[in-house]
A = this chain, B = another copy of it.
Amino acid sequence: MFKRLCSAKDALGLLLDRCQPLEHTELQTLPEAAERVICGDIISSADLPSFNRAAMDGFAVQAAETRGASISSPACLKRFLPLRTGMAVPEGFDAVVMLEDSALRGPILEVTAPVHPFRNLARIGEDIRRGDVVFKEGHRLRPPDIAFLAALGQERAEVYARPRVAIIPTGSELVVPGTRELRPGEAYESNGLMARLYVERWGGLPLEQRTVQDDPGLILEALESKTDADMIVVIGGSSVGEKDYVPRVLAEAGQLLAHGVRVHPGKPTAIGFVNGIPVICLPGYPVAAFFGLYLFVRPALKKLAHLGDAVPTISARLSRKIASRPGYLSLVRVALKDGWAEPIMTTGAGIMSSVARADGFVIVSEAREGLEAGGMVEVHLIE
């Protein structure tokens, strides 16, 4: 039995208190800086455009000389320069006349419509000026942002380091896939692989990963050796059974802040820290581990990485009622079809096929006892 169950919100709060946005930074080349978060304001070192740039094919002119021009009474210019879109409008000219409004007669340009100063050109610094803030600290660099920095002549960007995440799958029954056939009672390690893929996707850097046997000494060694990690995720052995050593070892090696969370599936979850590093212990049942990644690892990782943690959602109508246990946060897998969310009925936290068939999940709050059919729900899409 768990000594004291904690709400999902409280467990997450205890975890997030221990996770501070990382301070260390690294200099990355522009393509590598994509999707990363900048660690200070980026100031433009150039004017963009860096020159008055023709916005049309036409002729550079002095706007004043076109005053009053019309088809019946064209202005006749001696000083002009043919230009194509994008070319520099040289000193001494301040506008571009479109081809349609002009005709070349030997050395004379006839202009049939007046232009205002700076017409049909992009002025120096119109997009951004040297010294202006391009992006503020905390901005995630998207592809057009990377392009913008390249256009400004920047080759690198200083970004926050990716959180380093140690993933420790535990269980004497686990066999690394591809190494050998299973013997009875064994299973291929898969939760650690899932965790690694999500950590990468959510902006973290998974550290080298090794499966650990159900042995208190080995678990302790694994926990204490991850001194270069910003977060540790242990999977399996997190419950209250005889061989569930992880919470006990964590309590000895560091501190156990919560053990047992009112969430279904996923009650055998523990939160703590060791050597100042936040530790999340997830159950080995794969569906519970999956939800634990979403509920705890994702927001903690996003906070460390200076990233927002909103999960993409879609609204849908519930096709059948959902049962849930009051007092427990319930996570229900659903399949989406034509605007309907179809609950995938299964009680087993070990049934991976239920996640395979799901497009997302619905969160039923502790205050509810299930959800009625026909109601609108927010479906969190499985990334």
Contact = CB atoms under 8 A, between A and B. Distances in A.
A187 B151 contact: yes
A30 interface: yes
Interface residues of A, number: 70
Given A144-B355, A151-B190, A55 B185 contact: no
Interface string A185-221: 1011111011011100100000000000000000000
Contacts of A190: 147-148, 150-151
B350 A187 contact: no
Given A188-B151, A355-B144, A122 B31 contact: no
Contacts of A243: 57, 84-85
Contacts of A355: 144-145, 148
Given A155-B178, A348-B122, A350-B127, A144 B85 contact: no
Given A127-B351, A187-B49, A30 B144 contact: no
Contact of A86 (B57, B146, B151, B187): B187
Interface string A164-184: 000000010100011000101
A290 interface: yes
Interface in A53-110: 53, 55, 57, 84-88, 90
| Interface-centre pick from A185, A290, A348 (highest chain B CB count, 10 A) | A185
Contacts of A57: 241-243
A352 B48 contact: yes
Interface of A: 30-31, 34, 48-51, 53, 55, 57, 84-88, 90, 122, 126-128, 134-135, 142-148, 150-155, 171, 173, 177-178, 182, 184-185, 187-191, 193-194, 196-198, 201, 239, 241-243, 284, 286, 290, 312, 348, 350-353, 355-356, 382-383
